[in-house]
Amino acid sequence: MRMVTTGWIIALMTLTIGLQAVAEDDYWVETMREVHSEFDGQQGYVAQFGDSITNSMAFWKCFEWSNPDEYLSEDGLPKRPAKHTRWRDYMKGKKYANFSRWTVKNLLEAVPGVLEREKPEAAIIMIGTNDIKKGTVPPNYKNDLNKIVQLCIDAHCIPIVSTIPPRKGKLDAVKACNAIIKEAAKFNKVPLVDYYNAIIQRREKDWYGTLIEKDGVHPRAIKKMNHVFTEDNLNASGFALRNYVTFLKFREVYFKVLAKQL
């Protein structure tokens, strides 16, 4: 009898822990539904805010013509939108708040114009790689990042923040920056893409020169493979990995918030 009772206790604890994990993962859903409830902009428009890692055509452009359905596992979410398939805006350049060598200060200056002019429904935000180039996180970073997130919320645009990838010789600063990004996601109750963790889980010991280029900064792009999400390619192409993990989070946002279907 004790063994049966103990077994039920363990099963109940396991179920409880699982439910807590789901709840923790979805900490942003109700808040983002409230934010989106007053949205009156361009349905389906996904803005991209960031530096050269976002400005690159290797990021997100593939979703203009490629559908990742074949790579999706059964997770309770539909594989594609029921009414429209436009998850895929990929506008690039300063005018759209993504450009080479940008820091959080540059982004803060550019974002208001995009929100006012384009009225995006969601915004993918990854910034910080250039901020930490001297090996420390500048004192303005946290405040400016939170301002960018708040600007999106005020515009009824769903901000999706992303951790930055590892940078050779600057790992302590990268980790400190990512801690701020994660804190901003929790504080503002917005979705998080943990790109850094996705890289470390796959290539903890050898990300340099594989998922990250030999320059130690930029994700590796493999020509005509940025939309291929096989295990082999996700272990080889840093941009394919970023596209995939970002898409998975946006897909959650779409079906749990934007589409109002679940």
Write the pLDDT tens digit of every residue in 202-223: 999 999 999 999 999 999 999 9
**Token code pair at residue 165:** 């990838």
User: Degrees (nearest 5) of the Cα angle 209, 215, 228?
Assistant: 50
**pLDDT of res. 16:** 37
Q: How confident is the model at residue 259 (pLDDT cuts 50, 70, 90)?
A: confident
Match 């405040």 to its residue by tokens: 143
Rounded distance between C-alpha atoms, residue 181 and residue 137, angstroms: 12
**pLDDT of res. 79:** 80
Q: What is the pLDDT of residues 117-168, one digit of tens each?
A: 999 999 999 999 999 999 999 999 999 999 999 999 999 999 999 999 999 9
| Stretch 220-236: mean pLDDT | 97
Q: What is the pLDDT of residues 37-53, one digit of tens each?
A: 999 999 889 999 999 99
Other Cβ atoms closer than 10 A to 171? 13
Q: In degrees rounded to 5, what are phi and psi of residue 46?
A: -110, 105
Rounded distance between C-alpha atoms, residue 63 and residue 201, angstroms: 25
**pLDDT of res. 22:** 43
User: Which domains does the chain carry?
Assistant: 2-258 (3.40.50.1110)
Looking from the CA of 34 toward its CB, the CA atoms found within 13 Å total 8
**pLDDT of res. 5:** 36
Residue 235, pLDDT above cutoff 60: yes
Pair 148, 128: CB distance under 8 Å: no
**pLDDT of res. 217:** 98
Question: What average pLDDT does the chain have?
Answer: 89
Strand 42-50 and strand 192-193: pairing? unpaired
Residue 32, pLDDT above cutoff 80: yes
More confident residue, 94 or 260: 94
| Stretch 187-216: mean pLDDT | 98
**pLDDT of res. 20:** 41
Residue 24, pLDDT above cutoff 90: no
Q: How confident is the model at residue 85 (pLDDT cuts 50, 70, 90)?
A: low
Q: How confident is the model at residue 255 (pLDDT cuts 50, 70, 90)?
A: very high
Q: How confident is the model at residue 111 (pLDDT cuts 50, 70, 90)?
A: very high
